[in-house]
Amino acid sequence: MSKTSKVGIIGAGNVGADVANALVLLGRCVRVVLYDRTLSKAEGQVWDIEDSIPLLKEMEIIPSNQYEDLADSDIIIVTAGVQPKLGQTRLDTLSDNAEIIRSTIKELDRVAPNSIVIIISNPVDVLTRIAQATSTRAENLIFGSGTVLDTARLRYQLGKQLNVAKQDIHAYVIGEHGDSQFVVWSSAFIGGILLTEFPIPQGATLEQIQQEYAQLTRKRGHNIFERKGNTSYGISTVVCQLVDTILRDEKQIFPVSARADSNYGVGSEVVLGLPCIIGSTGIERQLLLSRNSHEQRLLEESANKLNEAYNFLHN
Ligand code: NAD
């Protein structure tokens, strides 16, 4: 991490503010700019967060409604947009958020053409595709949070069920950050052991566990939303991890929203959550996860759904 590392955040709502707070608490960079079209909102969030700085590592956090303040950011996190209302899916917010993303990306291309841009706003996969199509920057510099949060949710719950450290659960949720996501069970490992060979708790079957935990993961965001009206703590930690792997060039693997490698068999246009190596140049490489024929069909269904949503907007 450089002495001047700077992270910009667009949108000072629940997610943007929690990302800023988490970056400060975890000391992930030295300067944060929190941008919102409403300056007083950005100021309120920043003033609240900066009260903690005297108790932490030295940091600077700046509220703004001027895109120019984002110049020279190493990374810019885009959280601006409307949230789905209760009963709506993430795709229901597409047309409103597509417009916000297009105008935001044009401004970011003007003031910060070399920054790495991470899209968080939903529906994140389609918005990332729109952002890539709008932006003049290289495609490796612009990606979405994809199914990183869903994968963390799965690892947490499965770790508890199997009584194993969550860090040792190597299983990915891929596809849409939404209802058509799925777990690639055929290449799930616990430690170095294939899940299919791992001792399952008495009274349960592998099939039951797979069904229950895929469903629990898929519904988790909705279940949180139903109870508290938004989700923000999980995603803000996801963002901190992505920021860290970029600034330290750690080359960690995350299933981010990226344009599918043609070897996945879903064309080379659709953007969806797939495992990629993330380092100082953003997406350094996309990995080809092995999958059985059922999982391939699920991937194709997820890709079709996302293509339809993108094409609907462009017809
Ligand atoms: P929010 O309504 O609390 O905040 C949105 C903020 O965006 C508001 O402060 C608003 O003023 C600002 N905004 C709107 N248009 C803008 C523009 N053109 N320029 C600058 N700022 C603008 O919503 P939230 O709870 O913070 O959620 C933000 C987005 O993040 C939503 O789309 C939500 O669905 C998404 N989200 C994604 C994930 C994920 O895993 N990818 C997780 C949680 C939330």
pLDDT digits (tens, 9 = 90+) for 85-120: 877 887 788 988 999 999 999 999 999 999 999 999
Residue with tokens 């291309």: 109
Q: What is the mean pLDDT of residues 139-161?
A: 97
**Residue 271: strand pairing partners:** 259
Query: Would you place residue 202 in the very low, low, confident or very high pLDDT band (cuts 50, 70, 90)?
Result: confident
Choosing from 18, 33, 38, 83 the residue with most ligand 1 atoms within 8 A of its CB, the one to mutate for a pocket test is 83
Residue with tokens 């935990």: 213
Tens of pLDDT, residue by residue over 8-18, are 999 999 999 99
> Which residue's CA is the closest to the ligand 1 atom numbered 25?
14
| 150: CB partners within 8 A, 6+ apart | 173, 177, 181, 217, 218, 220, 273
State percent of the chain over pLDDT 70.
99
**Residue 254: strand pairing partners:** 276
pLDDT at 86: 77
Position 274 pLDDT exceeds 80: yes
Query: Ligand 1 mean position to 11 CA, how many Å?
Result: 6
Tens of pLDDT, residue by residue over 40-98, are 999 999 999 999 999 998 999 999 999 999 999 999 999 999 888 877 887 788 988 99
pLDDT at 89: 80
Longest CA–CA span in the chain (Å) reads 60
CA angle 14, 236, 80 (to 5 degrees): 45
Q: What is the mean pLDDT of residues 130-135?
A: 98
Position 146 pLDDT exceeds 90: yes
Give the C-alpha separation, 106 to 36, whole Å: 16
Give the C-alpha separation, 7 to 179, whole Å: 31
Of the given ranges (12-21, 85-94, 131-140, 231-240), which has the lowest mean pLDDT?
Answer: 85-94
Stated as kind and residue range, the H or E segment containing 259 is: strand 252-259
Query: Ligand 1 mean position to 80 CA, how many Å?
Result: 4
Of the given ranges (61-75, 202-216, 270-284, 287-301), which has the lowest mean pLDDT?
Answer: 202-216
Backbone angles phi, psi at 77, to 5 degrees: -105, 125
**Pocket flag, ligand 1, residue 14 (CB < 6 Å):** yes
Nearest to 245 by CA among 113, 74, 120, 32: 74
pLDDT at 1: 65
Specify whether 314 is catalytic: no
Q: b or e along 72-101 (b: 16 or more beta carbons within 10 Å of the residue's beta carbon)?
A: ebbbbbbbbbebbeeeeebbebbeebbebb
**Pocket flag, ligand 1, residue 177 (CB < 6 Å):** yes
Query: Ligand 1 mean position to 292 CA, how many Å?
Result: 36
Position 226 pLDDT exceeds 90: yes
> Which residue's CA is the closest to the ligand 1 atom numbered 5?
13
Give the C-alpha separation, 73 to 243, whole Å: 12
Choosing from 34, 36, 128 the residue with most ligand 1 atoms within 8 A of its CB, the one to mutate for a pocket test is 36
Tokens of 91: 């795709």
- Nearest ligand 1 atom, CA 124: 41
**Rounded to two decimals, what is the model's pTM?**
0.97
DSSP state of 189: E
Nearest to 240 by CA among 20, 56, 69: 20
Q: What is the mean pLDDT of residues 150-176?
A: 97
Catalytic residue among 170, 177, 222, 294: 177
pLDDT at 116: 98
Tokens of 76: 């810019």
